[in-house]
Amino acid sequence: MKRRIALGCLAALLAALLLTPWTAAAGPYEDVYLLGVNDTVMLNYITAELMPVRRDGSIYAPCTLLLDNKDLELSYAVNRSGGTFTVFNRARTIIFQLNRAGAVDKEGNSYPNQRVISRDGVVFFPLRFVSEFFGLNYSFYNLVLPEGTVPIARVCTPQATLSDTQFGTSAAAMAADPLRQYAESRAEAEASPSPEPSASPEATPPPDEQVAPVDVSFAVLCRDGAGFQSLLNSFAAARCSALFLFTPEDLLTRDGDVRSAAAAGHQIGLLLRADAAQEDFRLGNQRLGHILRGETNQVAFLEGGSQEGNWRVWTGNVAPRGRGADAQAANLLTDINAAAPRTARVTLNDSWNTALALSRDIRTLAQRPYTLITTTEVG
């Protein structure tokens, strides 16, 4: 009996150490926030681009959380031209204004103090408000790790099996190493010396006089999906169209993405296997006929393929390189500027890192000396 009581006291003590009510984080994890959905801690959101932010006492989560978690059964739509961000399921809909405070549901109820914010082309929404609006359970508390406390916001559906205490124990163990790596990389970045200003007082010529014009066109190999919406947002901001390429297999599960890209004015093409190009081309166009009531002759190959056929083959000369979004963003501009003969045919993928890299570069590329070429102009 005494042993059971002692074990119970120890378990309670461990829970108290791992899980505490929220207070401002301290130590290396200041301004760091974690996300949890049901029994999963979202480790891929421990990045500067995707980490939740705190504004006016509320936690804002990136809209990609809704794509990455099918258990939530929520979808979203961004209407840049109409200035709205909509979250919906089969039963309810909430529409936020993109550029000012205010939201309204489909019954006409107004929520004047609710708003969304944007960072690097990604919309962040008020997590607690949206969770409770759709009947999801929301909790917010601190995980206590050896290096410091870390707040975590958790959203649960009825499918969750772990209590907050059990989840906190699991989350603390799983997030320890990614958090440590994130804190170390942030400390290194903050410790890097800032570049000294140029000593030359002479005015520099405008950019278009320094660098010869560069024609830039884009194709997207749609295999990942995590950065798909962010890419659409970036292209919309630059008023640029691209060629989005899908395998015949992916057309079965990503028909919604195909329609979204086509509705935004982008060209749709097919990704073909070199050893089954004709069959993939036939099958892909058959499926496009059901999705868009049309066909395409634009293709790219997953590996080396033949230029000969009833198609136009996309061949790029620039592609993302580097492990993270920062490296890819820097390398992308460098490689575009080095492209010969001043024509950059950029082959992207729809991963998060690549989408975030483009969101950082697109404003630069939308200005002189760059000219964004629409895909209908690309041979």
306: pLDDT confidence band, cut at 50, 70 and 90?
A: low
- State the average pLDDT over residues 268-273: 95
Least confident span in 299-308, 313-322, 364-373: 299-308
Structure tokens that stand for 93 in this block = 């809909």
Cβ atoms of 21 and 168 closer than 8 Å: no
Structure token digits, residue 234? 């970036």
Helices assigned H by DSSP within 192-319: 207-210, 228-238, 248-253, 255-263, 277-292
Determine the average pLDDT of the residues in 144-168: 89
In words, the CATH class of domain 17-184 is: alpha beta
Tokens of 78: 């961004």
- Confidence (pLDDT) at 195: 45
pLDDT digits (tens, 9 = 90+) for 163-205: 988 998 888 888 888 888 888 877 776 665 544 444 434 334 4
Residue 166 burial (10 A CB sphere; 0-12, 13-18, 19+): middle
What integer pLDDT is reported at residue 93 of this predicted model? 94
CA–CA separation, 101 and 59 (whole Å): 16
- In whole angstroms, give the CA distance from residue 261 to residue 313: 19
Q: What is the CATH class of 208-377?
A: alpha beta
Q: Which of 130-134, 260-264, 271-275 has the highest mean pLDDT?
A: 130-134
Least confident of 3-7, 123-127, 260-264, 301-305: 3-7
The whole-number pLDDT of residue 203 equals 38
Q: What is the pLDDT of residue 307?
A: 67
Region(s) of the chain under CATH 3.30.457.10: 17-184
For CATH 3.20.20.370, the residue range(s) in the chain are 208-377
* The pLDDT value given to residue 294: 87
- pLDDT tens digits, 71-112: 898 888 887 777 888 999 889 999 999 889 999 999 999 999
> Is the model's pLDDT at 374 over the cut of 90?
no
Q: Residue 299: pLDDT above 80?
A: yes
pLDDT exceeds cutoff 50 at 3: no
**Tokens 């936020």 sit at which residue?**
96
Reduced DSSP (H G I as helix, E B as strand, rest coil) percent helix, strand, coil of the chain, to 5: 40, 25, 35
Phi, psi of 311 (to 5 degrees): -145, 165
Whether the predicted pLDDT of 209 surpasses 50: no
Which neighbouring-strand residues pair with 270?
A: 246, 299
Q: Which of 34-48, 174-188, 284-298, 311-325 has the lowest mean pLDDT?
A: 174-188
pLDDT at residue 194, as a whole number:
45
Confidence of residue 26 (pLDDT cuts 50, 70, 90): low
Residue 57, Cα to own-chain centre: how many angstroms?
Answer: 24
| Residue percentage of the chain with pLDDT more than 90 | 39
Q: Is the peptide bond before 369 cis (omega within 30 degrees of 0)?
A: yes
Q: What per-residue confidence (pLDDT) applies to 244?
A: 96
Residue pLDDT, tens place only, 50-78: 889 999 889 999 887 886 677 898 888 88
Question: Do 229 and 220 meet the contact criterion of CB atoms below 8 Å apart?
Answer: no
Residue 369: per-residue pLDDT: 82
DSSP state, residue 321: -
